[in-house]
Amino acid sequence: MLKFIHITSLAAIALLGFIVLDWFYEISPIAYISIVLLWLLLVLLGSFNMRWQFFTSSIIKSSTSERKVAITFDDGPHPEFTPKVLQLLKLYNAKATFFCIGKHIESYPNIVKQIHVEKHKLANHSYSHATNFGFFRKNRIVEELKKTDALLEQITGMKNTWFRPPYGVTNPSIARALRDTNHTVIGWNARSYDTVLKNPTRVLNRLQKKIQPGSIILLHDTHSRCPEIVEHLLQFLKKENYDCVTIETLLNES
């Protein structure tokens, strides 16, 4: 896996190498600029791609060969759509994991309670989910994670150790914060793009191609298309003999 430290060391070595060579031969400024641009490009791609484990390690699937998957919902709870999703999960005897935003937990504690009582798993998706979360300093990130964990514990009585970074973005500040808080980072290997694709059939087609034993599926319980997508997804998983379990259960199968 590509690691930030390795890429940065390689870029520094390459730049130093060019500086030394410059004593003997004239090195074009384009060579220096190319190294810096390549480093920047890799850092940018690494920030948005949890699979690379670039800044911090993250779990994107389970290695189980059993037909089990974990459906995960980000950004809730939502007062209208989360209860509909819960109803469907009950109907299909499926369990899921909800990566909730702290300020939404504060607004809808009863839905969080319901998620917990119905034996789904709750986890941390930051307090604010701010669009500039990727630019927050370490201490602010730690504060957000602790605040959301405290809210979850108040309602469920359980300590949370799972975290999914907003927008799936990781960077050195988030990595440092996670070393403090000791959260396990959960990514996904089946991304639905359900907030971008407006046609539920396209979302489902995409997921059906990606799902395999041990998959972690990413959905959002915050938009009107969600119940329809969830219903068809649960029908597909049932037909394919997949069990829908929480992240905790899935990872214990590894």
Active site residues: 74, 220
Contacts of 86 (CB under 8 A, 6+ apart): 111, 114, 115, 118, 120
Beta bridge partners of 220: 74
- Given the complex with Zn ion, which of 74 and 221 has the nearer CB atom? 74
Residue 75 touching Zn ion (CB under 5 A): yes
DSSP 174: H
DSSP labels, 115-133: HHHTT-EEEE--SS--TTG
Shortest Å distance, C-beta 223 to Zn ion: 12
Give dist(CA 58, CA 73) in Å, integer: 17
Rg (CA), the chain: 21
Q: Should residue 194 be labelled a site residue for Zn ion when binding is judged by CB under 5 A?
A: no
Output the smallest distance, CB 70 to Zn ion, in A: 16
Q: Name which of 74 and 243 has its Cβ closer to Zn ion.
A: 74
Rounded distance between C-alpha atoms, residue 146 and residue 49, angstroms: 24
Per rule CB under 5 A, is residue 144 in the interface with Zn ion? Answer: no
Q: Which is nearer to Zn ion, 46 or 166 (CB)?
A: 166
Whether the Cβ atoms of residue 229 and residue 204 lie closer than 8 Å to each other: yes
With contact defined as beta carbons under 8 Å apart, do 90 and 118 qualify?
A: yes
Question: In this chain, which stretch among 8-16, 70-78, 107-115, 147-155 interacts with Zn ion, using CB under 5 A?
Answer: 70-78
Hey, which residues between 165 and 184 contact Zn ion (CB under 5 A)?
166
- Segment contacting Zn ion by CB under 5 A, of 23-31, 78-86, 147-155, 160-168: 160-168
Q: Where are the alpha helices (DSSP H) in the chain?
A: 4-24, 29-48, 81-91, 102-107, 109-117, 138-156, 172-181, 200-210, 226-239, 247-252
Q: By CB under 5 A, what part of segment 202-231 binds Zn ion?
A: none
Number of residues binding to Zn ion, judged by CB under 5 A = 3
In terms of CB distance, is 166 or 200 closer to Zn ion?
166
Q: Does 74 bind Zn ion (CB under 5 A)?
A: yes
Binding pattern to Zn ion, positions 20-59, x when CB under 5 A? ----------------------------------------
Residues that bind Zn ion (CB under 5 A): 74-75, 166
